[in-house]
Amino acid sequence: MSVRDLHRKPFDDGTTDKLDLYRGYLRAWLPTFIHSPQSVNTIQVIDFFAGPGKDVDGNLGSPLITCEEVRLALTNARTGKPPVINLVFNEYMPDKYQELVRCLEGIRPELPEATFHHSQMDFHVAFAQWLPLMQRPKTANLLFLDQNGVKQVTEDIFQTMASLPRTDFLFFLSSATANRFKDDPSIRASLPLRDEDFVHINGTNVHRRLTEAYYRWVPDGKRFFIAPFSIRKGANVYGLVFCSPHPRGMDKFLQLAWKQGGDANFDIDDDRIDPSAPFFPEFAEFEKPTKVKMFENALERAIKNRELKTNKAVYEFALRHGVLAEHARDALKRMVRDGLLPKQTFHVSYGAWEKVAAEPIRFC
């Protein structure tokens, strides 16, 4: 199985979309912790598969994107002492590592507030080395695992990351590879898939389905959120998996993903909705993405079965279905219009979730 080296050519559109999403999430995540030194004294961005820093045309790779976003967040930060900022970059190929070090030396003077760490290790060695520092209670981590292929984020690694305090992580999956080599034991051993999953998997939905399967690896009883973002390149679909133990992290990621179409950079459900066309409310039902319709059906079932009894439960349910709080509010309002729920006001948002008391849904 050959591994594509994305640094030999200019980044393609798929890689650019992946890096844009990474940049967007950093931009949303950094201010949360730069502004709250009372709960967090250290923030760490750890790029375990960093690459050389740029592509052959000088387009920025993830390490330099990280540096740019940290610079921006510090510039926009309110006055006051920022937390310790550790920026960690690991790349094991010698030539790429040398290039990476050169790039970081160039940008380091612009970020005197941050401490730079770079290493040339196998991912698993770097992970083990940083683990005690990722586990410190007043540290917030954003981990980026832009692996080649599918094999590095094993069950053990996933569960360790999912158990870390204040840690969000994003990893790349070459999902088409997982589908194509589904009978290869070494591929299957590194993925949460079961034989029966392949009945529903096709070349288009493979990344979405594969991402859902990671819920099987979440430690028992842990509140956790996972969302896919599928990226198509020619006939192949791959993508990012976003993971967070906190609704705020998932909310921010989904806001970003919905600005780019929901959970894919292509029309994954063949909805043929043109986002640039004028919006006519009378056609809203026809213009609704399949993903939102599926969520509305699931929500209606869960409400009818009394499985969701509060505004907070509805909010978490929406995040687990990869839709926004506003999708949940719209769906509840429609249930009122259809006479399935009595008239009431629904506070479904991150702000409402943060409040101590949950508000009950009134069923009659």
Site residues (vs ligand SAM, CB under 6 A)? 6, 19, 49-51, 61-62, 90-93, 96, 122-123, 146, 148
> Checking phi first, is residue 271 left (phi over 0); if not, alpha (psi -120 to 50) or beta?
alpha
Question: Could you tell me the smallest distance in angstroms from the CB atom of residue 30 to ligand SAM?
Answer: 18
10 Å CB burial of residue 37 (0-12, 13-18, 19+) is middle
Half-sphere exposure (CA, 13 Å, Cβ side) for 277? 9
10 Å CB burial of residue 45 (0-12, 13-18, 19+) is buried
Q: Would you call 101 helix, strand, or coil by DSSP?
A: helix
Token pair for residue 167?
């840690």
Tell me the H-state helices in the chain: 13-34, 62-76, 94-107, 123-134, 155-162, 175-180, 185-189, 206-213, 247-259, 290-304, 311-320, 325-337, 350-354
Question: Could you tell me the smallest distance in angstroms from the CB atom of residue 284 to ligand SAM?
Answer: 39
For ligand SAM, the closer of residues 146 and 330 by Cβ is 146
* Short-list 76, 66, 68, CA closest to 34: 76
d(CA 209, CA 337): 33
For ligand SAM, the closer of residues 238 and 353 by Cβ is 238
Question: Could you tell me the smallest distance in angstroms from the CB atom of residue 362 to ligand SAM?
Answer: 49
For ligand SAM, the closer of residues 50 and 164 by Cβ is 50
Question: Could you tell me the smallest distance in angstroms from the CB atom of residue 15 to ligand SAM?
Answer: 7
d(CA 178, CA 184): 9
* Short-list 247, 259, 231, 200, CA closest to 358: 247
For ligand SAM, the closer of residues 138 and 151 by Cβ is 151
For ligand SAM, the closer of residues 23 and 208 by Cβ is 23
For ligand SAM, the closer of residues 92 and 266 by Cβ is 92
Question: Could you tell me the smallest distance in angstroms from the CB atom of residue 286 to ligand SAM?
Answer: 39
For ligand SAM, the closer of residues 125 and 340 by Cβ is 125
Residue nearest ligand SAM (C-beta atom): 61
**How many residues are listed for the chain in this entry?**
364
Question: Could you tell me the smallest distance in angstroms from the CB atom of residue 11 to ligand SAM?
Answer: 8
Q: What is the CA radius of gyration of the chain?
A: 21
Question: Could you tell me the smallest distance in angstroms from the CB atom of residue 64 to ligand SAM?
Answer: 8
